[in-house]
Amino acid sequence: MAIPNTRSPMRASMAQAAGLAPGILFLTVTLAMTAAASLNSLAVDPTTPSTQEHVIDGKPLDYWLRTLQSSDSDAKSHRAAATALGKLQAENAQVLETLSSCVRSGDRWLRLAAILGLKHQGSAAVPVLREQLGSADQNIQVAALKTLGQLGPSAISALPDMLKLIEDEKEFVYIRQNAVQCLAAIESGQSAQTTIDRLHALLRNEQNKPAEDYWKHAILRHRIVGALPRLGPHAEVAIPTLIEMLEHPVRPEKRYLKTRGAPSALGLATPILRQDDKGTYTDPSDIETMYVIGSLAEFGPAANEALPILRQLSKDPAMLAATREMASKAIERIAETKVKTDAPERRLTP
């Protein structure tokens, strides 16, 4: 049986014009098309931004990188370039390398700008930031803590450093409270039980400090109280301690304002001020009570056991009006959320 000729007349005529056998021409064209497809796959997608296409403050990314890398640029230009690179909201290997180099610079202000500029560079920026936590310059420490907090869960490897700073009583209290905020941002909603246990123990230890040391440790306690609800369900273990803080508040000495006159006349924040025959003052226990009430409210239905003390505070005439209002709102939030949680599932009927 004869095999029919399947070659098209066009292909045959093209082969004749090229002086090639039809089969050779077909193979040549096929290889050319394959090569073209390979080249297309290697070509840069025009929609993918290159280093040149990133524009920051009206100048391309390369401009800022060259400025930082140039020894001809002055200190002011270096700092401006580091600040500009920090505005790039994407991970970039060149930016990471350049800013990391600046972090180790001898120029304090350049270091600060570079540290803050690493906030969008992901987990790769964590090692150089962790190095700065041991700096003798507290501003450098705070900047590193702030940036690690902005990195969020990407900075989870820095957790041991956070706990070390928080628990170190020799460390400046401002550093410790910033470390608490950083930890809450890194482990928000997913903290391990061991982390929470250590924070809870620290809170109880701080609560037992002498009243005369209140102001030294108050802000650290407030930061821990505010962070706990953000650390996930395991933090509910601290609710009894928070309730105890409401039932047995620390009573440090009153702090009187140096100026005389009614708070409203002085243009001051009246919700947290009191008055007696000696003048206008703040009662530190008022401030701490507000922090604790706010924390219990954030725990929602899990803080149901706090409802009795919250109801008592909401009706206590000795409390500030602002405190009574906060207690009432906390009751509504806890009870309302609990009702919604306990409500039976409603089924749609045809």
Tens-digit pLDDT profile for the chain (350 aa)? 444 444 444 444 444 444 444 444 444 444 444 444 444 443 434 333 444 468 888 888 888 888 888 888 888 999 999 999 999 888 999 999 999 999 988 899 999 999 999 999 999 999 999 999 999 999 999 999 999 999 999 999 999 999 999 999 888 989 999 999 999 899 866 667 888 999 999 999 887 777 666 777 788 889 999 999 998 888 999 999 999 999 988 777 777 777 655 555 545 456 778 878 888 878 888 889 999 999 999 999 999 999 999 999 999 999 999 999 999 999 999 987 544 444 444 333 33
In angstroms, the CA 173 to CA 202 distance is: 13
The domains located in the chain, with CATH, are 53-120 (1.25.10.10)
Please count the residues of the chain.
350
Give the closest residue to 303 by CA, choosing from 262, 216, 223, 243. Answer: 243
Contact 299, 241 (CB under 8 A): no
* 90 contacts 51 by C-beta, under 8 angstroms: no
Find the DSSP H helices in the chain: 9-18, 22-42, 61-69, 75-85, 93-103, 108-117, 126-132, 138-151, 159-167, 173-186, 193-207, 214-227, 239-247, 263-266, 284-299, 307-314, 321-342
